[in-house]
Amino acid sequence: MRKMLKLSIAAAMVMGIGSVSAQADGIDIVSNVKVKGEVRARYEMVDASGNTQNANAFTNRLTIGAGADLLGTDWVSAYVEMTDVRTINDNYNDTYAGNGVEPQQVVADPAQTRLTQAYVDLKLGADTKLRVGRQMINLDNQRFVGAVGWRQMFQTFDAYTLTNSSIENLSIFASYVNQVNAVKYDATSGTRDLLLNASYKVMPELKVTAYGYLIGTEGDTYGLALTGKLAVSDGIKINYRAEYATQTDPSMEKSGTNASVVDVDADYYRLALGVNANGILAGVGYESLSGEDGVAGGDTAFKTPYATLHGQNGWADKFLANGGSPTAGLEDTTVYVGYKAKGFGLLKVVYHDFQSEYGSIDYGTEIDAVYKNKIPGVNGLVGMLKVADYSGDDTVLQGNYATQAADVTKFWVMLDYKFASN
């Protein structure tokens, strides 16, 4: 992987050299250079029951990236990106042990600077591309693989990724990953993973997605999702998602550095139905991640270690540990309403009811709300207000369920400015 990153960084250096000397012996070193970036300032408050102090975090994310075609070709290109996270105060636990004891609630946004992306793209024909280097990977709804963009630092993957769309309506994705760079400070781990995803658009109302995520540390996940949108009348559209996945013993465990994991037997279900009636939004959903039943050779907890979990089971982030599922599993029943229109922005309220998949234990309920809109007069600037209020079941106070019992309220104010060269 070091050779891969060196290749990617070298390509980035070539882009920098090209800004001084755009040609060498009549060959363009770099061409079609494009720069983009983001400045995202955020205040996050966390108020939770217990003895830990409230958190008040003022943080900022600065991301700068540059891409260009290389060596006078239109089939070799490179992209490099740096992300810097700065903190304005220290009234929160940023999870970085080097800062000593921090008695406040956790906000997992430590100050750090990182090379978040550095890759080379090779076009192997009109519909096939090979990407080599550090990259973000967001698959489908990010339930299994995502860049965790909600946190100030991204999750990235050092990988070899091949994509193909030569067959009409069929998109194929395959990636071999040997290092994962998580959002926390210096959270880098070697691995041997194979990510496979293929989607076929049968018709405008139906897309079929099949996937296999072979993760050595957790097991192999194989799944199938049916999604689509149906226009029932003028201004009224229905969207849906029906999905099933199963987890088995890891097949990649002996091919690299991953610890051995055996006896994986887990299941996942998701059903969701939504409607957009001239901007009025409403929907319901049900999601189930299996839990351990305590029987030898029985069900185990379904885990999604590479997911963007913040967008899945409540914005209070009560279900991040253990790969995204408590030991007894998780059942999440949701109902949402909202309104979205040009000029008005988006207003949405979501209600969650959480139970364990094994034992039907009430974890608690949560109400989330968000308002998001473009800021007038500044192109690329978006503002957001967001709140999450989780109420734990007071009877769940011991064992694997103690972390779900604590009440928590979180509140965010955020400004996000994105820019790009022409």
Closest by CA to 282, choosing from 344, 333, 350, 227, is 350
Please provide residue 417's backbone torsions phi and psi, each rounded to the nearest 5 degrees.
Answer: -115, 125
Give dist(CA 342, CA 297) in Å, integer.
53
User: Rounded mean pLDDT of the chain?
Assistant: 89
pLDDT attached to residue 130 = 98
pLDDT attached to residue 5 = 45
pLDDT attached to residue 260 = 52
Give dist(CA 215, CA 221) in Å, integer.
8
Residue 396 has pLDDT above 60, yes or no: yes
Overall average pLDDT of the 99-117 stretch = 91
How much of the chain is helix, strand and coil, in % rounded to 5? 10, 55, 35
Closest by CA to 246, choosing from 213, 271, 268, is 268
pLDDT digits (tens, 9 = 90+) for 158-210: 999 999 999 999 999 999 999 999 999 888 888 899 999 999 999 989 999 99
pLDDT attached to residue 174 = 98
Can you point out the beta strands (E) in 234-377?
236-248, 266-277, 280-289, 330-341, 345-355, 362-374
Give dist(CA 307, CA 328) in Å, integer.
19
Share of the chain above pLDDT 90, in %: 69
Residue 383 has pLDDT above 60, yes or no: yes
Query: Which pTM was predicted?
Result: 0.90
7 in helix, strand or coil? helix
Contact between residue 70 and residue 47 where contact means Cβ atoms under 8 Å apart: no
Overall average pLDDT of the 25-41 stretch = 86
Least confident of 5-9, 77-81, 228-232: 5-9
Cα–chain-centroid distance for residue 274? 22
> How is residue 271 written in tokens?
């059903």
pLDDT attached to residue 259 = 53
Domain encompassing residue 161: 2-420
pLDDT attached to residue 422 = 73
pLDDT digits (tens, 9 = 90+) for 222-249: 999 999 999 998 889 999 999 999 999 8
Q: Going by C-beta distance under 8 Å and a sequence separation of 6 or more, which residues neighbour residue 168?
A: none
DSSP conformational letter for 162: E
> How is residue 413 written in tokens?
């104010």
Please provide residue 67's backbone torsions phi and psi, each rounded to the nearest 5 degrees.
Answer: -135, 155
Overall average pLDDT of the 84-88 stretch = 95
Cα–chain-centroid distance for residue 295? 33
pLDDT attached to residue 390 = 96
Give dist(CA 373, CA 381) in Å, integer.
9
- Judged on CB neighbours under 10 Å (0-12, 13-18, 19+), 119 is buried
Output 293 or 140, whichever has higher pLDDT.
140
**Number of independent structural domains in the chain:** 1
pLDDT attached to residue 398 = 52
Give dist(CA 123, CA 128) in Å, integer.
6
pLDDT attached to residue 21 = 43
pLDDT digits (tens, 9 = 90+) for 38-67: 999 999 999 988 778 999 999 999 999 999
DSSP conformational letter for 204: T
76-87 vs 128-135, strand pairing mode: unpaired
> How is residue 327 written in tokens?
């030991």
Q: What is the CATH number of the domain that holds 73?
A: 2.40.160.10
pLDDT attached to residue 102 = 85
Overall average pLDDT of the 141-160 stretch = 97
